[in-house]
Amino acid sequence: LDLRTEDLKHVTELGSGNSGVVNKVLHMPTNTIMARKVIHVDANPAVRKQIVRELQILHDCNSPQIVSFYGAFMTGNDIFLCMEYMDLGSVDAVYKKNGPFPMSIIGKTCCAVLDGLIYLYDKHRIIHRDVKPSNILMHSAGLIKICDFGVSGVLINSMASTFVGTSNYMSPERIKGATYSVKSDVWSLGLTLMELAMGRFPFPEDSRPLSVFELMQFIVNEPSPTLPPGQFPAEFEELCNACLIKDPDLRPTPKLLREHSTFVQRAAAEKVDIQSWAATLKQ
Ligand code: ATP
Ligand code: MG
């Protein structure tokens, strides 16, 4: 599929983040609705070309837990990325409008993220790097998928200077600038699951707003957050605690969790009608 700007018709804006805007667009030649993300990159043409080249790996990332990719192209300083449109948007928008998720849906969300991470790492040696509620998307057909993983090293580098505010979910080792691995994504998943269960970002306890820098210090120096005792199943508490082990050497990999966490095992085996639950959501 050869995507061209002139074939895409703007429908609505879906949201915006640090890197740019995401629009719902119609690809007129194929009558396909897509989500188009704009990433503004201040880099020379050679670097931008390299980024578009690296993004082509996305064509090979095919998994039921990964948002599909239609193509990327460049216009001026903007890189456009066209992907599968997920009609319910990100899980952060869903819980902010509808309250905390039921455990059965958290279980399925957890399985989807773990399966997506395992696929990316096993098949492509890709570490996601940005697991958080806004990068987990839902579709009313009952699908849960991850998006916005770091495929292009050059893009990651050229965005590094503008990459603020995403640090809330960063693991302690990453904040410290140490080498990091897929286990860093497990930390981010732990915070994400707690957030979906509690209906808010899980720490710090007091509501005093922290600056980005204070929060980063907090993550590195303070004990990991824990769920309020007695409100959630013990296996879920156990899973969150395992994800939030501060020492990456002791923290499990996605694969270990998938194969050995009691919560994950049960969630994977459980039959959950995500579609019916989705039908009850306020949009
Ligand atoms: P950040 O910039 O900190 O990573 P973010 O993930 O919210 O934050 P974007 O990735 O630019 O920023 O996405 C903006 C919003 O667009 C998301 O929160 C999500 O609600 C929506 N969105 C992104 N991709 C899609 C998609 N494929 N289908 C539907 N909605 C999407
Ligand atoms: Mg995103």
CA–centroid distance, 250 to ligand 1, in Å, is: 32
**Distance (Å) of CA 168 to CA 196, 213, 219:** 15, 10, 9
d(CA 190, CA 245): 9
The CA angle 244-145-277, to the nearest 5 degrees, is 95
d(CA 35, CA 187): 28
CA–centroid distance, 15 to ligand 1, in Å, is: 6
Q: Give the residues surrounding ligand 1 with Cβ less than 6 Å away.
A: 14-19, 22, 35, 37, 67, 83-86, 89-90, 93, 134-135, 137, 147-148, 165-166
| 166, 184 contact by CB (below 8 A) | no
pLDDT of 162 reads 59
| 165, 18 contact by CB (below 8 A) | yes
Supply the residues annotated as catalytic. Answer: 130
Q: In this predicted model, what pLDDT tens digit does every residue of 21-65 receive, in sequence order?
A: 999 999 999 999 999 999 988 888 899 899 999 999 999 999 999
Q: Which of 186, 176, 177, 88 has the alpha carbon at shortest distance from 134?
A: 88
d(CA 219, CA 212): 11
Least confident span in 19-33, 107-121, 202-216: 202-216
d(CA 55, CA 153): 10
pTM: 0.96
Residues with CB under 5 A from ligand 2 (ion): 134-135, 148
Q: In this predicted model, what pLDDT tens digit does every residue of 123-167 receive, in sequence order?
A: 999 999 999 999 999 999 999 999 999 998 888 888 766 554 457
Find tokens 């696929």 and name the residue: 119
Q: What is the number of alpha carbons within 13 Å of residue 261 lying toward its C-beta?
A: 28
* Six-digit token string for 62: 């095919």
